[in-house]
Amino acid sequence: MIRSLYKKPKAQSDKAVAFRALHQRDGAFIIPNPWDVGSARLLARMGFEALATTSVDYAFSIGRRDHRMSRDEMMAHAAAFLAGLQGAHFDLAELSAIGVKRVSVGGALSRVALAAFLRAAREMREHGTFGFVDEPISSSEIASMFDA
């Protein structure tokens, strides 16, 4: 399904039909919110059936506050690559069981990435240590996902 939504060329109406079908099938689906072209490509290659855009993640990625970009800037960002619930712990099956059809994680993915970034920076600044280097995904694994 992801290939039919994001690979070229398919009529916009066909994409709309495919997206609507995600909402009409049994169970819920997850629609993550990438913040840039790279994170969109990674999520698509991981097999997510659809992706959403997010203003806050884009704003953070360019060092700005949310809602501080013009409409034109946001539209250009959205064109470039086609709700964070902090503390809420539900899984897809539980949400589906109560009738949820679509799960969007809003800005959660970029905030998780930024939290890891800030933890690493604090560790370096406050302790002069580099324990965070044991946590990251390898460069080769990321590169292979872009090459897929």
Q: What is the pLDDT of residues 100-123, one digit of tens each?
A: 667 777 777 888 888 888 898 888
What's the mean pLDDT in 49-71? 81
Domain membership of residue 141 (yes or no) is no
What's the mean pLDDT in 140-146? 83
CB 30 within 8 A of CB 105: yes
**Structural domains of the chain, count:** 1
What DSSP assignment string belongs to 4-28? HHHSS---HHHHHHHHHHHHHSSS-
Domain membership of residue 16 (yes or no) is yes
Q: Is 138 exposed, middle or buried (0-12, 13-18, 19+ CB in 10 A)?
A: exposed
Domain membership of residue 69 (yes or no) is yes
**More confident position, 21 or 72:** 21
Domain membership of residue 134 (yes or no) is no
Residue 23 has pLDDT above 60, yes or no: yes
What's the mean pLDDT in 1-6? 47
Residue 53 has pLDDT above 60, yes or no: yes
User: How confident is residue 40, by pLDDT bands cut at 50, 70 and 90?
Assistant: confident
- Residue 59's domain comprises 2-107
User: Comparing 43-52, 65-74, 77-86, which segment has the lowest mean pLDDT?
Assistant: 77-86
pTM of the model: 0.57
- At residue 131, the pLDDT reads 92
- At residue 62, the pLDDT reads 83
Domain membership of residue 86 (yes or no) is yes
User: How confident is residue 148, by pLDDT bands cut at 50, 70 and 90?
Assistant: low
- At residue 103, the pLDDT reads 75
Give the separation between CA 85 and CA 103, rounded to whole angstroms.
Answer: 11
Domain membership of residue 21 (yes or no) is yes
**More confident position, 5 or 54:** 54
Domain membership of residue 140 (yes or no) is no
